[in-house]
Amino acid sequence: MKFPIYLDYAATTPVDPRVAEKMIPYLTEHFGNPASRSHAFGWAAEEAVENARREVAALFNCDAKEIVWTSGATESINLALKGAAHFYQAKGKHLITVRTEHKATLDTMRELERQGFEVTYLDVDSEGMVDLEALKAALRPDTVLVSVMYVNNEIGVIQDIPAIGEWCRERGIVFHVDAVQAVGKLAIDLATLKIDLMSVSSHKAYGPKGVGALFVRRKPRIRLEAQTHGGGHERGMRSGTLPTHQIVGMGEAFRLARLEMAEETSRLARLRDRLLKGLREIEEVYINGSLEHRVCNNLNMSFNFVEGESLMMAIRDIAVSSGSACTSASLEPSYVLQALGRSDELAHSSIRFSVGRFTTGEEIDYTVTLIKQKVHKLRELSPLWEMYCDKVDFNQVQWATH
Amino acid sequence: MAYNEKVLEHYENPRNVGSFDKEESDVGTGMVGAPACGDVMKLQIKVGKDGVIEDARFKTYGCGSAIASSSLVTEWVKGKTLDEAMAIKNTQIAEELALPPVKIHCSILAEDAIKAAIADYKAKSDKAGATASREEETAEAAVCAPRAVTA
């Protein structure tokens, strides 16, 4: 086994060696600018870019002309939300999203609020699911756009995108989906799903960082106001010289995802379930988010009476993410777990495990053993665990301010 | 985040982990922090007849720096008089463990824990003489307000 063990595939993935191999000639040999129309260097690069565009489109069963290259999902989301909000603002200035969205969506929505748009942030239930009835209740005559993520990045919960899409389409509301965590894990058929705009990135699916795409539907046609101006690339929607090697990498990564998804997702689910089974043997653990509506590679668990950062420190041999933002110095528990109604204590002690293409069963078994041992050790150190064992009623305890 | 060596050393080998019986007359118990804030420290001192702290124990729920801070102060208070222990400053703890600015609150909590344990011990010994009825101390509501955090 190689240490540290990487169980943070939801944060990023390594570039698949097969992908890296395809990229290299486009750095050194076929270095042309895909926008150069007058010579063979440009033609070769353009062909590579268009092949990759077809591969991305093939994974989602859409037209290659509906794919716009971006620098990543954050840019895709910014272009989708700001571009559609600006273009359709004469129709209305009300937007709807969900409290548990990624910051790329929430911060973009905040910016649109500063620009005079009004945003409704939908609550989720204790399982992390959006209630379609809550969405219906939030509808206003001036609602122009709804944005919901397919798979939550922290808790892996899958929203009912088909149903929300149908509902939006019937009302002529633009529907944007952040599908970053769904790529290669869920079959996304844009010929049947009523999604108008969809953001994806390459690096969560074994492609390189720094490239992503935005799907912009042509039938019915969705219009966007460009947010980056320059040479009029990408049909005017996103100017800027295309990074050929990155795009080639993303194309190859998405081609592999299409070919290997069925087999890979069942393997990932087996590994995740093995992890879940092992960790569930520990007393006082809580699973965050619905297990039923959950992507195959995610497990988010809280270890009661153990503080998250100290647990992370204890398991330095494993690369995972903590649901507590203590590590990023803000001392704030995860807003996603708070939206689920989790107490701050449980939010602080949560860990997100995400398995991926190169995870092995041996690594999972090692992880289970290590976590069991370290949780035991930290609980021996924990005054809260001692109180729990003494059957102290925590609701009766008054904690001193600090 | 990379952890400081001294923090790691205390974290891996915490000193004086455990509990004394808090009902014993020579034991002072200080419990500070709140679970919602991500830190709770329980520090206990055992005081000799001469007023010198003979032994100390701790249990901490919190990050590695909180565990290290409390482990360190259990070592420091041993052999000190109550007045000497009262004089321990959070800045000394922070300096010894080279805590970064975001972890200064851990050292503040450790200082508060010593003071709370000493106050508990003193309240007990005062009461041992008098037969006055015991006033319940009302703790303030838990509010996460890490002080002196500059980063």
Q: Which residues pair with A146 in a beta bridge?
A: A96, A175
Chain B residue numbers with beta carbons less than 8 Å from the beta carbon of A394 are 35
This prediction has a pTM of 0.89
Chain A residue numbers with beta carbons less than 8 Å from the beta carbon of B29 are none
Report the residue of B1, B43, B61, B69 to disrupt the A interface, i.e. the one with the largest count of A CBs within 10 Å.
Answer: B61
The beta-carbon neighbor of B144 closest among A310, A329, A331 is A331
Rounded to a whole number, what is the distance in Å from the CA of A323 to chain B's nearest CA? 12
Mapping DSSP onto H, E and C, the string for A329-379 reads CCCCECHHHHHCCCCHHHHHCEEEEECCCCCCHHHHHHHHHHHHHHHHHHH
Read off the DSSP letter of residue B40.
E
Question: Is the distance from CB of A368 to CB of A336 less than 8 angstroms?
Answer: no
pLDDT band at B149 (very low <50, low <70, confident <90, very high): very low
Subunit contact B38:A326, Cβ cutoff 8 A: yes
In the residue annotation, B63 being an active-site residue is answered as no
In the residue annotation, A168 being an active-site residue is answered as no
Q: Is A382 on the interface with B (CB under 8 A)?
A: yes
By CB atoms closer than 10 A (0-12, 13-18, 19+), residue A343 is middle
Chain B residue numbers with beta carbons less than 8 Å from the beta carbon of A384 are 35, 40, 61
Q: Is A324 on the interface with B (CB under 8 A)?
A: yes
A233-283 pLDDT, tens digit per residue, is: 999 999 999 999 999 999 999 999 999 999 999 999 999 999 999 999 999
Subunit contact A399:B138, Cβ cutoff 8 A: no
Q: What is the pLDDT along chain A (402 residues), one digit of tens a residue?
A: 999 999 999 999 999 999 999 999 999 999 999 999 999 999 999 999 999 999 999 999 999 999 999 999 999 999 999 999 999 999 999 999 999 999 999 999 999 999 999 999 999 999 999 999 999 999 999 999 999 999 999 999 999 999 999 999 999 999 999 999 999 999 999 999 999 999 999 999 999 999 999 999 999 999 999 999 999 999 999 999 999 999 999 999 999 999 999 999 999 999 999 999 999 999 999 999 999 999 999 999 999 999 888 888 899 999 998 865 444 444 578 899 999 999 888 888 899 999 999 999 999 999 999 999 999 999 999 999 999 999 988 888 888 655
| Rounded distance between C-alpha atoms, residue A303 and residue A212, angstroms | 35
A124-145 pLDDT, tens digit per residue, is: 999 999 999 999 999 999 999 9
Q: What is the pLDDT of residue B36?
A: 79
Catalytic option among B106, B110, B116, B117: B106
Rounded to a whole number, what is the distance in Å from the CA of B66 to chain A's nearest CA? 9
Subunit contact B34:A380, Cβ cutoff 8 A: no
Q: What are the tokens at A381?
A: 């150190």
Q: What is the pLDDT of residue B38?
A: 83
Subunit contact A329:B143, Cβ cutoff 8 A: no
Question: Is the distance from CB of A67 to CB of A215 less than 8 angstroms?
Answer: yes
Residue of B nearest to A384 (CA): B61
Subunit contact B61:A309, Cβ cutoff 8 A: no
ipTM summary value:
0.85
Which residues, 6 or more positions from A380, have their beta carbon under 8 angstroms from its beta carbon? B17
Subunit contact A344:B37, Cβ cutoff 8 A: yes
Subunit contact B33:A348, Cβ cutoff 8 A: no
Q: What is the pLDDT of residue A288?
A: 97
Q: What is the pLDDT of residue B1?
A: 55
Beta strand A350-354 with A298-303 is: antiparallel
pLDDT band at B130 (very low <50, low <70, confident <90, very high): low
Catalytic option among A168, A296, A326, A389: A326
Residue of A nearest to B41 (CA): A383
| Rounded distance between C-alpha atoms, residue B65 and residue A258, angstroms | 46
